[in-house]
Amino acid sequence: MTRGLFLLFGVMAYLVFFLVFLYLIGFLADLAFLPRTVDHGPLIHPLPAIVADLILIAIFGLQHSIMARGGFKRAAAAAVPPPIERSLYVLATSAALILLFAVWRPIPLTIWRVEYPVGRDILWALFALGWLIVLLSTFLISHFELFGLKQVWLNLAGRAPEPPRFRQPLFYRRVRHPVYSGFFLAFWATPHMTLGHLIFALGMSAYMLIAIPYEERDLITAFGEEYLTYRRNVGMLAPRLRRRI
C-alpha cells in the first residue's frame, strides 16, 4: 500500500510540475488568456516591483539549488523516503514557481520592441526553440528519472535503482548544460522586452550561472576524472570551437 501511495504522490508531483511548466511558457509569452503573465497583472511603483520580483526569483533559486545539493539530501534522508525524494523536490520547485506567478509584479516599461514581422517571427522561433531544447534535453538524460516517476515506479516493482552512469547523448556531446542553454534562449528571445521581463531574464540567468559550478562540483564528486575530461573538452552553454588537451 505504501508503494502505491508513493507512486500516486510521484504522479501527482509530475502532473503539477507539467502544468506549471506549461504555465511558465505562457507566462513569458504573455498570453492574454492567462490571469497573470510577466507583463500583465497588478501594477505598483517600479522600484518596489523590482525588489519584489527579485525576491521571488531568489526564493526560487534558493529552493532549486539547496534541495539539489548532496548535503541537503543526506540531511533529509532520515525524514523523506528515498523513492519520493525527487518527487518532493519537483513539487517544491512547482510551489516556488506558483508563488512567483501569483505575486509577480509586472513593470511594463519597454526596453525594446521589434515591429518588423520577420524579426518578430525569428524571435518567436528562438523562443520556441529554447523550450524544445529544454524538453528534448530532459528526455536525453532520462526525463522520468529527472522528475521522479522512474523512482516511484521501480519502488512499486520492488526493484532497486541502477547506479548513475555518465553519458553524453546528442546535445551533451557539444554542450554540458543544454537544459540551461534552452532556458537562456527562452528567457531572452522576445519581440517585446519590458523592464519586468528583463528583470526576470537577468535574475534567472544569474541564478543559472551561479548554480552551474555547484552542479558540476556534484558531478565531479560522482564521476571524477571522467567528468573533468568532459568539462575540459565540451562547452558549458555553447559548443566549444577547439578541444582542450
Would you say 141 and 169 are in contact if contact means Cβ atoms under 8 Å apart? yes
pLDDT at res. 24: 98
pTM for the structure as a whole: 0.93
Rounded Cα–Cα distance for residues 91 and 209 (Å): 23
* Domain extent listing, the chain: 2-233
User: Along the 245 residues of the chain, how does pLDDT read in single tens digits?
Assistant: 689 999 999 999 999 999 999 999 999 999 999 999 999 999 999 999 999 999 999 999 999 888 887 778 778 877 889 899 999 999 999 999 999 999 999 999 999 999 999 999 999 999 999 999 999 999 998 899 999 999 999 999 999 888 889 999 999 999 999 999 999 999 999 999 999 999 999 999 999 999 999 999 999 999 999 999 999 999 999 998 766 55
The CA-atom distances, in angstroms, between 124 and each of 61, 110, 178, 186, 218 are: 26, 17, 19, 9, 35
The strand pairing partners of 194, in sequence order, are: 110
By CB atoms closer than 10 A (0-12, 13-18, 19+), residue 120 is middle
pLDDT at res. 28: 98
- For the chain, how many helices (H) and strands (E)? 10, 2
pLDDT at res. 79: 85
Rounded Cα–Cα distance for residues 138 and 169 (Å): 11
Please name the helix (run of DSSP H) or strand (run of DSSP E) that holds residue 113, with its range, or none.
Answer: strand 110-113
Residue 67: φ, ψ to 5°: -70, -20
